[in-house]
Amino acid sequence: MTRCLNCGAERLSDTCDACGLSSSAAEFSLRRSLLNRTALFLVGAIAFIVASGRYPALELDGIVIFIGVVFFLTLGLAMIVERRALRHQEVESLKRVYYGLLPLPWLLALLLYGNGALDHSPAHIEKARVISRFSMSGPVPSRRLIVTSWRAGHRFERIPVDRSDFDRFTTGDVVDVQVKDGLVSIAWVAGVMKLYPDRRSVGEISVASNGTAMQRRPSSSSSSSTA
């Protein structure tokens, strides 16, 4: 006994008693549904990229690896389901797994965006030294500052930055990393500022990842000594 490719009901003949579609019509309906749902899944992946760039999580690399595995697993399942549907084989269990994976990019995108956009906690500044830099070109460029970690059990941190910050910082620079706790306790990077050896000079303006301009001001002692 097989199931209808369209509705999943048990089918005793060529025509499904539940939805009234023949085997060929059910196959066409399933393939059209796969196409539409896969397109929605791809839009969700783009939304995740936008949200992760707007409010980059401190553990962004791990999240990106996870969503990458989900991305290719989902597309692979879609191709397997389509191939089995063309041969009129059982696809109901695989189809349910595929449908269950589809909302994940949207959920992660909403989670990261809400975690940063609705976070009103004060930022805390962590001092770190730039160890190296990493840049990967492509349709979705990735730029990271590899800095010494301030967290116990971590040797270094990968700080997402934009192109201007990436070009401005060099290996050996001491930086202030502004970190916020996040609405759902996912720490994210609000900005990076460069520390100068000469404390009398005004710090360089750094545009945070959420678009807010920040400036490091000279200390009061430095101002009085200058005067």
Sequence ranges of the domains in the chain: 2-117, 124-216
Which has more confidence, 102 or 203?
Answer: 102
Assess whether pLDDT exceeds 90 at residue 77: yes
| Predicted local confidence at residue 74, as pLDDT | 94
| Residue 119 and residue 105 in contact, taking contact as beta carbons nearer than 8 Å | no
| Predicted local confidence at residue 212, as pLDDT | 45
Assess whether pLDDT exceeds 60 at residue 213: no
d(CA 70, CA 44): 12
Whole-number average pLDDT of the chain: 81
Q: Structurally, what CATH architecture does the domain formed by 124-216 represent?
A: Beta Barrel (2.40)
| Predicted local confidence at residue 14, as pLDDT | 73
pTM given for the model = 0.74
Dihedral over alpha carbons 184, 187, 193, 194 (to 10 degrees) = 170
Assess whether pLDDT exceeds 70 at residue 141: yes
Tokens of 102: 């589809």
| Residue 146 and residue 130 in contact, taking contact as beta carbons nearer than 8 Å | yes
The predicted model gives 132-147 an average pLDDT of 84
Share of the chain above pLDDT 90, in %: 38
pLDDT band, very low/low/confident/very high, at 46 (cuts 50, 70, 90): very high
In which region does residue 88 sit, left (phi positive, over 0), alpha (psi from -120 to 50) or beta (all else)? left
Beta-carbon contacts of 202 under 8 Å, excluding residues fewer than 6 positions away, are 215, 216, 217, 218
| Predicted local confidence at residue 21, as pLDDT | 78
| Predicted local confidence at residue 88, as pLDDT | 77
| Predicted local confidence at residue 197, as pLDDT | 55
Tokens of 142: 């990735």
The predicted model gives 162-190 an average pLDDT of 89
The predicted model gives 126-150 an average pLDDT of 87
Assess whether pLDDT exceeds 70 at residue 1: no
Q: Lowest-pLDDT range, 96-100, 163-167, 180-184?
A: 163-167
Share of the chain above pLDDT 70, in %: 84
| Predicted local confidence at residue 44, as pLDDT | 94
